[in-house]
Structure 1
């Protein structure tokens, strides 16, 4: 289940990466999937590594039913990706 969710997240993010999506997105499962998919198409940078780490923690928390904590990690991931 986790692998499927992670694959869906990565796929959705790759599809929706664009300058218009640079704004912070609300913390929902769909937006988390889109964000994770967007990270797949970006070049490897320290910011991407930090964002991937936060998304992994968000994924784990979401799988355990801890949406508040998952949202916290998701927001940190978005902030990390916005840093240059």
Structure 2
């Protein structure tokens, strides 16, 4: 599990260096994992707290097989992190 999280963090860091990183990521399990790993290194802000709340709801919905609802929360999470 640690190896998977480390790999996800490395990929998220690599993706954050690209100019396309400001674009919204597609709603997939892999992208959700990358986003969650990338949030770990950001400073605690109200935007991060809102994003974490949405990611928690996305994870809960994904665990229950509700991908449409999980994607909605994932997109809200991305928007919250982009807010200043």
Band of TM-score, shorter chain: 0.7 to 0.9
* Structure 1 residue ranges (4+ consecutive) displaced by more than 3 angstroms after TM superposition: none
Report if the CA contact (8 A) 1:47-1:81 is conserved: yes
Superposition RMSD on alpha carbons, in Å?
2.0
TM-score normalized by the length of structure 2: 0.81
TM-score by length of 1: 0.81
- In structure 2, the gaps of 5 or more residues are none
* CA radius of gyration, larger in: 2
Determine the C-alpha separation between the residues in 2 that align with 1:45 and 1:11. Answer: 25
Aligned to 1:39: 39
Query: d(CA) in 2 for partners of 1:75 and 1:52?
Result: 12
